[in-house]
Amino acid sequence: MRGRRLSERQRQRIQAIQERRRQRLESRTNVVLEALDADRSASAAPDGDAATGRAPRRGLVVARHGAHLAVEDSAGSLHHCMTRSNIGHPVCGDRVVWQPTGNGGGVVTALESRSNVLSRPDFSGRDKPLAANLTLMAVVVAPEPPPSGFLLDQYLVAAELMGVRALVVAAKMDLLDTTGRAAFLDTLAPYRALGYPICPISIKRAPGPSALASQLKGEIAILLGQSGVGKSSLVQALLPDQDIQVGRLSVATGLGRHTTSTATCYHLPGDQAGGRLIDSPGVRSFRLAHLTHAELEQGFRELAPLRGRCRFRDCRHLDEPDCAVRDAVATGSIDPRRLEHFHNLRESLVR
């Protein structure tokens, strides 16, 4: 069922309510800490909800199915929570305020502010959040199926606009001989020149999954890529205990089989820096939407510095005279394929 549209006044009221809940939690936490500092030897619990163990708490959303959320508390315990209507759309990676309701369950009452959110348009054209508070987007490409530079550039544009570090993972390197591997990596050279790290990897031989695991250390990462590039195999290699984590999640939250069909935030084994990996089925059909021409330019690293240098302010970088972008292509400063992808994306956004 499609959610009802809210007026601007209703949205402002909901945001104000959530902000009061966040401030109330902050105030309650400070009072408890001050009491503990004042008398470390006291064993009495704070009054009110804290005494019953039902005081508001902060948590991390690690899975969602409809209105059902799996929320991890600061001690690493999982809780099956429901979400209040009209507080927003909590997704994996969201930090939330939740209220225990007994039997290990609870209700999410507010969303903490996000540093970023990865979204894609739904069938009606409205943005649908997929994951929040990311620090790394790892885009997987492979020799088979042949990489789509158009799709790769969509992911990289999203990363640029979100302010998230991007990594290009060259998977299935075991399918190529030495010459083929060199040729394949050469096609990714323009991205390396732009500052995007390239991580060659193979499940069956060196460099193995550990090469990617070292790149994910301490990150809140998501793997992206077109169908067939081996993303599922990489997830299994990076998460040898995935079945255990899924089982723990299922038992603790009651989400059951839905834990394997919805976006899930996993702990990266052995990562003492607290790294996590978000596996989301929604990114398989990722596409950009609702971008202006200026925003699209900002998403291409090599185009952003040239803004304002063309003769015409609304230059499309097609056939206009004195175009700084086409001049840069002519001198080899910009890869012509990237400009072609820019035009393709611009046309798709216009349509």
Q: What does the pLDDT look like over 41-51, one tens digit per residue?
A: 334 344 445 54
Q: Do domains 8-111 and 293-350 have the same CATH topology?
A: no
Q: What does the pLDDT look like over 225-272, one tens digit per residue?
A: 888 888 889 998 999 888 878 887 877 667 665 555 578 899 998 887
Q: What does the pLDDT look like over 8-36, one tens digit per residue?
A: 666 666 666 666 666 665 555 444 334 33
Q: Structure pTM?
A: 0.80
* Residue matched to tokens 């349509």: 351
Q: What does the pLDDT look like over 94-126, one tens digit per residue?
A: 999 999 987 778 999 999 999 999 988 777 777
The architecture of the domain spanning 293-350 is Orthogonal Bundle (1.10)
Q: Within a 10 A sphere around the Cβ of 350, how many other Cβ atoms?
A: 7
State in words which class domain 8-111 has.
mainly beta
Indicate the domain borders of the chain: 8-111, 117-285, 293-350
CATH 3.90.190.20 describes domain 117-285: no
Longest dimension (CA), the chain: 78
- Contact of 104 with 79, CB cutoff 8 Å: yes
Q: Within a 10 A sphere around the Cβ of 125, how many other Cβ atoms?
A: 8
